[in-house]
Amino acid sequence: EAAVTQSPRNKVAVTGGKVTLSCNQTNNHNNMYWYRQDTGHGLRLIHYSYGAGSTEKGDIPDGYKASRPSQENFSLILELATPSQTSVYFCASGGSRDRGWTLYFGEGSRLIVV
């Protein structure tokens, strides 16, 4: 079974502080994604990656950076956290099209910025 693990699962951060959300996948998938989910907005894409060393901006990248140092790991970095970044963050991985490109999600990371 495909596995995507996020850490931390819960985080309280102070405004202006740095937050790093980590994601690890054991699926050997090339593609990885960071989404945030807020009530009334569904899932919104922040950053994504096509493979190690690659990061691409999604629909709402402002205030976020991403890092993909290896096939397995994809991090989301908030250099200067703000209360508007309070949300639930989901990481996902997806394989190649010939394997059906199904997205597998982690359990989510709940971030509160105070």
Partner 1 sequence: GDKVKQSPSALSLQEGTNSALRCNFSIAATTVQWFLQNPRGSLMNLFYLVPGTKENGRLKSAFDSKESYSTLHIRDAQLEDSGTYFCAAEADSNYQLIWGSGTKLIIKP
The CB-of-102 to partner 1 minimum distance in angstroms stands at 5
Residue closer to partner 1 by CB (options 79, 101) is 101
Q: What angle do CA 45, 20, 74 make, to 5 degrees?
A: 55
Task: Categorise residue 67: left if φ over 0, alpha if ψ from -120 to 50, beta otherwise.
Answer: beta
The CB-of-80 to partner 1 minimum distance in angstroms stands at 27
Residue closer to partner 1 by CB (options 10, 82) is 10
- Report how far apart, in Å, the C-alpha atoms of 38 and of each of 3, 34, 95 are: 24, 14, 26
The pair of structure tokens assigned to 91 is 């990481």
* Residues counted in the chain: 114
The CB-of-16 to partner 1 minimum distance in angstroms stands at 28
Residue closer to partner 1 by CB (options 20, 58) is 58
Rounded Cα distance, 8 and 23, in Å: 9
The CB-of-35 to partner 1 minimum distance in angstroms stands at 9
User: What is the binding site for partner 1 (CB under 8 A)?
Assistant: 31, 42-45, 48, 50, 58, 88, 90, 92, 94, 97, 100-105, 107-108
